[in-house]
Copies of this chain bind each other. A is one copy, B any other.
Amino acid sequence: MRLGVCWYPEADDRRLWADDTMRMRDLGLQVVLLAGAAWSSFEPERDLFRWEWLDEAIALADDAGLHVVLGTPTANPPRWLVAEHRDAVAFSRFWQPRTSVQPLCVTATATRAESRRIVGVMADRYGEHEAVIGWKLDEAAASFEQMACWCGECASAFSRWLERRFDGDIAALNSAWGTVERSETYPSFDAVHLPRTGRGVNGGLVLAHRRFVAHQRRRFLDEQAEIIRVLSPGRDLITHHDLRHDDLDADVIAGVGTIVGIDNNLPGGQLFVRNGFTHDLGRGLLEGRPTWVLHQELGARQSVSVAEAPTTDHVSRVLWAAHHHGIETLLAARWRGATHGVDQDLVALLDHAGQPTVGWRGVEQYLREVGAADPNQLVVPSARCALVYRFDDAAVGSQPDHHRSVVLDAYSGARRCGFDVDVVPPGRDLSAYDLVLFPATRIVADDSTSSFESAANADALVIVGPRSFDMDAEHGHVVGPVPAGADAVVRAAVSTSVTLSTPAVMDPGGCEGGQWSESYRLTVDADRATKVLARWIGGGALNGAPAVVRRGNVVSMGGSSTEAWARLITALTGRKLAPSGVEVVERGGVEVTIFDPSAMPSLWR
């Protein structure tokens, strides 16, 4: 794993730069990311460009042997530009203009034009610079609420987008969304409005709005990519994601680039497993392409509560975790502590007094440990387990947290059995995997069906979790038994589906089944090959009914907890089960512990 750093020379004293780039090199860094937040520094007034400082910074990095990635600066337009385009400012659902982060609506014609202009100018100047190896496109796509805009241009663009999506056929939209319910039949695409409030809104509309927001972002980035590809041939294009949110479809957005870049902080206040999941989710977005961590925080911000102050060892372990999860390049955030702005309390490599921080020392320790390690143990092998994940599935129904819980249960269950896991979008051929998981893969469509069939037909062990294959691609409920497709293979269909505040128990095994719980009835064609592996204890109408059913290599599991997935997988694969919370993988024939809470319990409490 290659290390680098986010560098904001525009905020530092110019006399420090030469020394800083040499110190970066000496620390062992190989990449710097810059320019993405510096638009007002290189274009302080319209068409008045100041490139000298950026020329110098790039040259110094180059001199130090550092590769350079340039950020397109469109998330941080200069205030003079915002002032010129007041009508392009994004609005919240409460009519509040966004005045700080990503202030301009990416749908607005003016925003698009400015974006093309500045990217063109930058790419023209630096596109073929030999130090420049890639471009980061705009800033992280964060949560839906943060990225969505309710301005007038978005309102009409949404209608046009729907019109294209449904080939101009409003009857097709009405059919897909089932608008006959509650008399919501739309007479035209113009009559469909952005849903500004949540109560009682048709699920098809909600889901379409999410897709629209992701799509508008994709179009915005497409325009940048088209320009860069021409002016900066051969360079990588890196999309930027905050995968801790699951309400904006990163699959749609990632497709514009050649590298997926994710944000990460130290996993304080949450389970370590989310950290690994985020890596593997990022890794799954572009098949076979590298994945970067673009902005890795290496300490605890003052403004965030943690159970313990991170130690050098903590930081090193986090870097090792990224390594073992297959991250190719990781950029520390950031070189020097910011005196101002939203990253004011971020723990950089150097603090506000210019002293090395715990982040710096963690990087040193990690590189020292890598140097001392058996090279065979540094290689990340191909994963033998795939977990199918679709962002839209979290948008189905009103319980996105429960959805992610089930996904993380499945993921951590597999990891406790020592599996490296590829988190993959539906549609891939999964026949080469040993274990394939469909945890709450709600939407049944050609892509998810073909993935399921590729695995089921290939004799991979396939486990389908609760609330899978029960919705169509437009938020309609499946007509017929569910999990649709799997029911025919296992010959069992869901009989009761419920959200339990008090989990029921699966017997044998004694594992809790979590909140999303389903029982099965065997279908009329069930035969002796259909095996009931567990039944429910408790849960009211669930009690006594099948909870886990298997036929051949396909298993339907009606409940979910880390323990339940882990025990099922260990029972069916014979893999050794690590203690609760411990993440172990094989590297070069040796068991390597990525994370052990008993050895490092503190930050993750």
Contacts and interface: CB of A to CB of B under 8 A. Distances in A.
A599 interface: no
Contacts of A337: 477
A305 B478 contact: no
A300 interface: yes
Given A79-B187, A199-B146, A309-B517, A181 B341 contact: yes
A197 interface: yes
A449 interface: no
A34 interface: no
Nearest to A603: B540
Contacts of A552: none
A37 interface: yes
Interface stretch (A25-33, A40-48, A109-117, A120-128): A40-48
B199 A308 contact: no
B96 A269 contact: no
A578 B8 CA distance: 53
Contact of A353 (B204, B480, B515): B480
A212 to B, nearest CB: 15
Number of copies: 3
Contact of A498 (B182, B309, B475, B479): B309
A340 B306 CA distance: 43
A516 B314 CA distance: 20
A345 interface: yes
Among A146, A183, A300, the most chain B Cβ lie within 10 Å of the Cβ of: A183
The secondary-structure label for the interface of chain A is: loop
Among A199, A340, A478, the most chain B Cβ lie within 10 Å of the Cβ of: A340
Interface residues of A, number: 112
Contacts of A516: 302
Given A97-B196, A196-B96, A305-B499, A177 B340 contact: yes
B499 A306 contact: yes
A307 B203 contact: no
A575 interface: no
B191 A82 contact: yes
Interface string A310-342: 111010000000000000000000000111111
A356 B521 CA distance: 13
Given A40-B180, A191-B82, A341 B202 contact: yes
A602 B184 CA distance: 38
A265 to B, nearest CB: 14
A32 B539 CA distance: 33
Contacts of A96: 93-94, 196-197
Contact of A307 (B97, B308, B502, B519): B502
A99 B181 contact: no
A185 B40 CA distance: 6
A302 B498 contact: yes
Among A80, A477, A515, the most chain B Cβ lie within 10 Å of the Cβ of: A477
A11 interface: yes
Given A309-B540, A541-B311, A191 B79 contact: yes
A529 interface: no
A524 interface: no
Interface of A: 8, 10-11, 37-41, 44-45, 73, 76-80, 82-83, 92-101, 146, 177-188, 190-191, 193, 195-197, 199-204, 269, 300, 302-312, 314, 337-345, 352-353, 358, 397-399, 467, 475-482, 493, 496-502, 504, 515-517, 519, 538-542, 602-603, 605
Task: Give the top 6 A-B pairs by smallest Cβ distance, nearest first.
Answer: A178-B340, A308-B540, A181-B341, A101-B200, A80-B187, A309-B541
